[in-house]
Amino acid sequence: MNKIFRKFVALIQYVLVLIYILFEELVWEGIAEPIYDYLAQLRILQRLERLIRRVNRYLLLVIFVALFGAVELAGITAGVLVIQGKGAYGVALYAMKVPIAAFTFWLFKISKNKLLSFAWFRWSYEKLLAFMAWLKALPIYRDTMHKLHRLKERLGILVKKLRALWGKKRSDWKKRFDRLYLKIRKAMGRGRND
């Protein structure tokens, strides 16, 4: 029974690690972080940032919790849609949620001090950070990240080889096309210096 329990716990850890890695590596770094960086540079958001800094902390909390809740609900709904076989709808919903999530992270970053002034919010945030630290300390996380980095390196090498091959083929194709073009021009009685 103890062995089954340990396997079950390991399975739960593995699922949590995969979800975290999927979010961190693919969604955040690949999609949301560039959107977040873009949003942070917009002038209108710089004005909005000054306005938000003057907003009452209770109103700010309501706005943040509503946005965060909507983003999480959209993510769960997208997952349910994919499981139900409505993959296109699930992916579309998830894609629509990413810019809102980036905006929500931006809002948290600029209003962190006000939000953390609520004791329950600070407690929740600290527990979340502790959970993420625990997850990253798991051997399964480190092993999975090591394998992912090796896979990324291999894919990077493969992409470079394909680009070099494609570039070579493209240049050969371009040379053949240029020769054909010159033959056609000669056949039509035009020289190269027209």
Residues 133 and 188 in one domain: no
Residues 101 and 11 in one domain: yes
Residues 86 and 121 in one domain: yes
Residues 64 and 157 in one domain: no
Residues 154 and 112 in one domain: no
Q: What is d(CA 143, CA 10) in angstroms, rounded to the nearest whole number? A: 13
Residues 102 and 130 in one domain: yes
Residues 112 and 162 in one domain: no
Residues 146 and 129 in one domain: no
Residues 110 and 190 in one domain: no
Query: How many distinct structural domains can be found in the chain?
Result: 2
pTM across the whole model: 0.61
Query: Could you read off the pLDDT of 86-115 as tens digits, one per residue?
Result: 888 888 888 888 788 888 888 898 899 999
Q: What range defines the domain where residue 188 resides?
A: 138-194
Residues 91 and 34 in one domain: yes
First-to-last alpha carbon distance for the chain, in angstroms, is 87
Q: What is d(CA 75, CA 98) in angstroms, rounded to the nearest whole number? A: 9
Place of tokens 């306005």: 51
Single-letter amino acid, residue 39:
L
Residues 104 and 150 in one domain: no
Contact 180, 53 (CB under 8 A): no
Q: Would you state the pLDDT for residue 115?
A: 93
Query: Could you read off the pLDDT of 27-54 as tens digits, one per residue?
Result: 566 666 676 677 667 777 778 888 888 9
Residues 24 and 103 in one domain: yes
